[in-house]
Amino acid sequence: MAASPVSVLVVDDNVMNLELASFVLLAEGFEVRTAENADIALKSIAEQPPALILMDIQMPGMSGLDLTRMLKADPVTSGIVIVAFTAYAMKGDEHKLRAAGCDAYLAKPIDVKHFAQSVRACLPQSAGQVPSG
């Protein structure tokens, strides 16, 4: 029996980042949904919670860190793996990202060759068994 695809929600206000991340992850067998802001992300999560969220930190309206704090504070969504997905990490920022509840950090721009493998590495071992295709 084939493993079901791991669902990933990509939250980013940059449409090109959404498209590139989606393209790479879909090609590697992930189920991908996207959201351009925190409001859309919250609706998507309520409809179908993903296994992992790639969270842009710098977004208009509610920031990715604020959304992460909100999701980690809610028992219904606290188990979702949240990966900070940002180009703005400076020395010391990883501590701030983890303090907000991020489980891991991936830098932009996307390294197309290793991106899916990096995302898979952020998942708990049992959930990360996505068949390559």
Q: What is the pLDDT of residues 59-77, one digit of tens each?
A: 999 999 999 999 999 999 9
- The pTM score is 0.89
Q: How many domains does the chain have?
A: 2
85: region left, alpha or beta (phi > 0 left; psi from -120 to 50 alpha): beta
128 confidence band (pLDDT: 50, 70, 90): very low
Residues 9 and 53: beta-carbon distance below 8 Å: yes
| Same domain, residue pair 40 and 1 | yes
| 93 located within any domain | yes
| 117 located within any domain | no
Over its C-alpha atoms, the chain yields an Rg (Å, rounded) of 14
Q: Structural domain of residue 95, as residue ranges? A: 70-111
- The DSSP-derived string for 57-117 is S--SSS-HHHHHHHHHHSTTTTTSEEEEEES---TTHHHHHHHTT-SEEEESSP-TTTHHH
**Secondary structure letter of residue 29 according to DSSP:** T
- Tens digits of per-residue pLDDT, 70-104? 999 999 999 999 999 887 666 677 788 888 999 99
| 21 located within any domain | yes
User: Which residue, among 107, 133, 131, has the nearest Cα to 118 in the 3D structure?
Assistant: 107
| Same domain, residue pair 40 and 79 | no
| Same domain, residue pair 40 and 74 | no
| 124 located within any domain | no
**Higher pLDDT among residues 107 and 16, named by residue:** 16
